[in-house]
Structure 1
């Protein structure tokens, strides 16, 4: 199988099922942003962080591949004529979302209470988490727009929503582990210009 096919030279690409759409189609934007997010998670996993977090990130990356496959499939061609699903992939399950919630709660229990918004930064690894969080929010925005027009399993949206929360708390956990300063955002005093 060749890497290049030249079929996309005119600005279109094929969904799973064969339907061709423009490369800027909301479906492509949705799964492309999920793919971008997955790459950022790989970068975080490559950092000098604890093995438990690396394992959780690997599980999350697996789930993002599931989400990407669902989003890349033409819903009109997701089921074959014999009634079977076109793709034999697992689905996002409630326990996938619960895993993120459990991880958030565990990390959060060991962190100081938040009293202000936090400016991203403090350490490169922490900054990668914040970038991943914002890419995750974009993936969620793109996917909700797609969902309005072509509904899919709502658990995918819940997973993306919870994942951005997970990445925020992970940034805080890593700030603490790396002894990086969390810079609080304190609005400037308007009277002092």
Structure 2
């Protein structure tokens, strides 16, 4: 039986996809760690989703975030081995998020008020997921600024994903959502 632990990371580094190692404290690892956390939080939201269409969409987003993670965690000299939509984020993936947001907002326009998360368990989970996705985006931008190979579609995808999660949280909250107090 194979063991789950390898001991290869005991010295504080971790393996990159397609070879190579990097410090676990590297900002790039922070970025794809946040992506992994976003996947897990989408699972929480999906588990509580009452609407099958929402659950299906959240599962799709989880799978797409595996692509984001693979794209980020790939050894920079081996990116040419990646496959569009499987291990490399594409502009089409970003466009699909934009089109979905446009459709959702046209179906139910967003109210121009500050929203306090927590109207429903699913909307709260989506707002939590959105906050972590924003953190992932910040870490990925920092990684790019530190010289890591971060593709433009990855950065755009994370930015659009957090916007989409905001829209989905408002939809999951329904019509009962109350604006925040201005006191």
Q: State whether TM-score is above 0.5.
A: yes
Q: 1:175 to 1:97 in 2, by over 3 A?
A: same
Structure 2 unaligned segments of length 5 or more: list them.
none
Structure 1 unaligned segments of length 5 or more: list them.
189-193
Give how far 1:112 is off. 4.8
Q: Distance in 1 between matches of 2:179 and 2:123?
A: 15
Asked which structure has the greater CA Rg, the reply is: 1
1:171 to 158, 169, 172: 169
- What RMSD over aligned residues (CA atoms) do the two structures have, in Å? 1.9
Give how far 1:100 is off. 1.4
Give how far 1:152 is off. 2.5
2:95 corresponding residue in structure 1: 98
2:180 corresponding residue in structure 1: 185
Detail structure 1 runs of 4+ shifted over 4 Å in the superposition. none
1:73 corresponding residue in structure 2: 74
Q: 1:56 to 1:113 in 2, by over 3 A?
A: closer
2:55 corresponding residue in structure 1: 54
Q: Distance in 1 between matches of 2:40 and 2:155?
A: 19
Task: Name the structure with the higher helix share.
Answer: 2
Query: Does residue 1:161 correspond to 2:162, yes or no?
Result: no
For the 8 Å contact 2:123–2:170, the answer to whether it is kept is: yes
Query: Does residue 1:23 correspond to 2:24, yes or no?
Result: yes
Q: Distance in 1 between matches of 2:152 and 2:5?
A: 34
Q: Distance in 2 between matches of 1:136 and 1:155?
A: 15
Q: Secondary structure at the match of 2:69?
A: helix
Give deviations 1:134-180, integer Å, cap 9, x for gaps. Answer: 0000000011111222233201111111111111110111111xx6x
Q: 1:113 to 1:69 in 2, by over 3 A?
A: closer
